[in-house]
A and B are shown apart, each in its own frame.
Chain A
C-alpha cells in the first residue's frame, strides 16, 4: 500500500494522545524496510487510539487520522471507515463538553426527555444501561484528564445546567441497584453490598479464587463436565449450552485460543452486567480464569461498552490488584485485557465483537465458520456473556444447578433494579419481588427481553419465566429485561422508538436489515398517524418476515419481533 496523507501534522495534543497508545514515533530509518508487517500487526490498537484522541480532544480530525494511518500502516480511508462506525466518536469539531441524554424505552416512559425536547448542546443516546435510575444521562468532558460520568433521575433543569458546563454529582453506591442485597439465598449477587467490591482480601476470605483452584485440580475436561451438568446456558440472549461451547473450543487443535467476556450490554433495558462488574469485579476475573483454564486460553478480553465509566474503573482497578498479587498475568498463564466499545449495539454480536477488537468495522461475520472454529484473530474463541461466566464459580465449588437468573426490572414498579430469581417463577411473582406496581399504576404491557424481545400483556402474569415456557408463548427471556409499562405509557411511541433504535444500530451490511429497518420505521410512523392501516400492516409483516429470514445476524433477525408481538398480542394499531 502506498500511504497518501495530507502532510498536515497532528496537534501536540493529538500526537500525545496517540503516542500514549502506540508508543513514541520511531525515528525514520530508510534502511529498515520490514516496517509494514510489524506495524500492521498492531491494528488492534486502532480502537484504543481513536478513543485516546476523542477523549483528549473531543473529536477526531483528518490530521489525527493521517497520523494514526502512518503509525499503523493502515489507509486513512479504512481508519475513517472504522471511526465513522461508532456513535461516540465525532469526525467534526465539537465542544469538549458533551451531554448524552438517554431517550430510550425506559427513560422516555419515565419522565425522560424525547429527541425533540433536547436543549442545545445535548444529544440523544440509546439506552445507557441505567434503566433502574431512569431517566439517565452520560456526560463527557474531553481533556488531558477526561471526565466521564453518568447520572440518573435526570431533570430538564439538570440537563440545562450540564449543558452550561456543570458536571453531575457522584453516583449512588453500586449495590443500590440490588434491592435484595444481603439476602442469604443469593448466588450470583451474593457479594453485592456485602463486601467492598475492590477489597481483594475480603474477596479471598469469601471463598475467592477457591473455584479456580478446584478447577485446576479437576482439569479442563472435568471442569467442563461440571458446567454441562449444571445445565448452564448463555445469558447473553441466545441461550446456547455453555459446556458444549467450551468443549468445542477446548478440542480445537489450532492454537492459541481466546476468551471474550461480552460486556457490551447495549440491549435496551439491560443493566445486569454493569451491576455484576460494579459489585463483584473479582468474581468476573476468577470466572474468566476458570473459563480460560478449561478452554485452553491464555488471553481473555473483556469487551466493555463505552458508556460504562464506573464498571471500567472498577474492573481496571481489580485487574491491577490481581496482577500485583500474582493472581493474573506473569507466570499464572492467563492475562485479561479490557477493550472499550465506542457506541455500537451491534458490537455485542458474537462475531462483530471480533472485528471491533481487531480494529475493523464492527460488522458481523458470516457463519459458518463459527467462533469456536475461527474467531478472534482467526483463532478458536469462546464468547460468553458476563452473567453466564459469573455462574461458573458456584457450579465448580458447590455443584449447584444453574437455574438462577438475573432480571432487569425497570418502569412502573416500586423498586426497579436487578433481581436474582430461580427460573420458573412467574412474571407476576417477579413484579411482586420488585415491590409490585407503583401506586395508581395499572399494568398495560411488559417488554420481555428488550428491543429484540417481545411484549407480554396484562393477561400474562402467570407466564412461567424459563426458556421453554417463554419460547412456547412466542416470547423470550433474552438478556433478562422486564420493563413494566403502566397505563400512562404511550405504546405507539415505544414502538416508534424500537424501530428507530434498530434503524440507528443496523451495521448496514445486508439489505434486509439496512433498508428493512428504515422501511419498518416509515411504516410505523404512517400507522401511528393514519386510520387506514391494512396496507401498512401487511407491508410491515412482509418486511418483518424478510428481515427474520434473510438478515445476516441476530440484529436484523429480531428487529421486528417486539413490534410484531405488540401488534399481534397487544393489538396495538387494531
Chain B
C-alpha cells in the first residue's frame, strides 16, 4: 500500500489534521479530507475507476471503485468517501470483487466499451463475462450523432459518467448545453429536446471531449480516420506547446500522425487550463498546417 501523505506536505502521524486508518491490514495516515481512493494511491492504483476523471469531482455513479468499510451495511465508493479515523477498509473482499465484476458485466453487456481503457484487464481480473446476459440483453446502441464538423457523439459508448455534463456546466464551462435527460435505463446525455449541436448553445470548446473516458465524444477528425481505417496510434506523436491565439497562454498537446494534427488536448494537470480550452485552441489548428499542397 502506498503512503501518499507526503504528497500533501504532511508528515505521517504528526499533523493534528491527519487521520489514521487501516487499509487491507496496513496502518495508513493521511490528511483529513482525503478520499479512500487517494489514500490508496489515487487514480491508477489497483482500484478500478470509470466515472472518476482528472479534473471533475466524481459523481460516483459507476460504482466500480467500491470498497468494504467495516461497520457499513453497504459497500462505499472509494472515489468519494473521505477517510475517517479508525476506518477499517478492505479493497479486495468477496463482496467487493463481486460488485466490481457485476458493474463491469452490466456496463459491458449494455454499452460499447471498446475504446474504454483498462476494461479488458479488469474483465480478466474480476472474471467478468458480459456475454452471459445473452444476445437479447438490452443495450444503449444507437446511431452516431454527426451534426457538425468538429466532433461527434456516439452515445452507444456512453456509460453516463456525468463528466461531460459537469465539464460543460457547473464545474468548468458554464455553458450548460447538455444534461442528463430521461430516467433509468432511458437516461441519456442530451441537449434540450435532442436538438443538434448547431441548434444548441454549444461553443465547441471541446471540454466535454477531453473528459470523456469512453470515446463517446470524439474529434470528427479522429472519427473519420477510424472510419476509413487510417487511425494508427502507434504512428502518432504528441507535442506540447502554447496556444498562439491569445495572451492567456493555454497549454496545448498536439496529436500528430503523418505530420498532420489530428486532434488537440490540453494537459489536465496544467495550472492554466486544467485540461480546458476554447474553440480556437481546441479546433483552430488548421492554420498551422495550411500547406501549399493542401486544399484547405
Query: A residues engaging B (CB < 8 A)?
Result: 1-4, 6, 62, 65-66, 74-81, 84-85, 91, 344, 361, 366, 368, 503-512, 514-519, 522, 526, 539, 542-543, 545-546, 548-552, 557
Contact B185 A515 (CB under 8 A): yes
Contact B190 A81 (CB under 8 A): yes
Query: Which residues does chain B contribute within 8 Å of A366, judged by CB atoms?
Result: 60, 77, 80
Among residues 63 to 115 in chain B, which have CB atoms less than 8 Å away from a CB atom of chain A?
63-64, 66, 74-75, 77, 80-81, 95, 98-99, 102-103, 106-107, 109-110
**Interface SS of B by simple majority:** loop
Given known A2-B201, A511-B107, A548-B74, contact A543–B176 (CB-CB < 8 A): no
A550, B192: Cβ atoms closer than 8 Å:
no
Contacts of B81 in A (CB 8 A): 368
Report B249-271 residues with CB < 8 Å from chain A CB: none
- Chain B residues whose CB sits within 8 angstroms of the CB of A66 once the complex forms: 192
B137 interface residue per 8 A CB criterion: yes
Given contacts A80-B181, A510-B62, contact A550 B99 (CB under 8 A): yes
Determine if B222 is an interface residue (Cβ-Cβ < 8 Å). no
| B102 engages A84 (CB within 8 Å) | no
Residue of chain B at shortest CB distance from A78: B179
**Contact in complex: B74, A515 (CB < 8 Å):** no
B11 to chain A, nearest CB (A): 27
| Residues of A with C-beta under 8 A to B138 | 518, 522
Chain B nearest CB: distance from A492 CB in Å? 19
A509 to B183, CA, bound (A): 8
- What would be 7 A-B contacts, judged by CB atoms less than 8 Å apart? A75-B179, A77-B192, A80-B191, A508-B186, A511-B106, A514-B187, A515-B109
B200 with A542: CB separation less than 8 A: no
- For A543, list chain B residues within 8 Å (CB): 102, 106
Task: Give CA–CA (A381, B184) in the complex, Å.
Answer: 27
Residues on B with C-beta less than 8 A from A77 are 176-179, 181, 190-192, 200-201
Interface centre among B110, B160, B180 (most CB of A within 10 A): B180
Are B185 and A503 neighbours in the complex by a CB distance under 8 Å? yes
Given known A-B contacts A512-B106, A516-B102, A550-B75, A507 and B183 have beta carbons under 8 A apart: yes
B182 touches A (CB below 8 Å): yes
Structural contact, B60 and A1, CB atoms closer than 8 A: no
- Pairwise interchain contact A511-B159, C-beta atoms closer than 8 A: yes
Of A78, A514, A517, the contact of B176 (CB 8 Å cutoff): A78
Please, how many angstroms separate the alpha-carbon atoms of A539 and B137 in the complex? 13
| Those 3 A-B pairs whose CB atoms lie nearest each other, nearest first | A508-B187, A75-B176, A81-B179
B185: chain A residues within 8 A (beta carbon): 503, 506, 508, 514-515, 517-518
Q: Identify which of A515, A526, A549, A550 contacts B107 (C-beta below 8 A).
A: A515
Does B287 lie at the interface of the complex (its beta carbon under 8 Å from any beta carbon of A)?
no
Q: In the complex the two chains form, is A514's CB within 8 Å of B184's CB?
A: yes
A522 / chain B contacts, CB cutoff of 8 Å: 133-134, 136-138
Decide: A515 and B176 in contact? CB cutoff 8 A.
no
A76 lies within 8 A of B192 (CB): yes
- Which residues of B have CB within 8 Å of A510? 60-63
Q: Given the complex, which residues of A lie within 8 Å of B183, measured CB to CB? A: 84-85, 344, 504-508
A512 touches B102 (CB 8 A): yes
For the A-B complex with A85-B183, A503-B184, A515-B110 known, give 6 more contacts whose Cβ atoms are closer than 8 Å: A1-B201, A77-B201, A504-B183, A508-B185, A518-B110, A550-B102
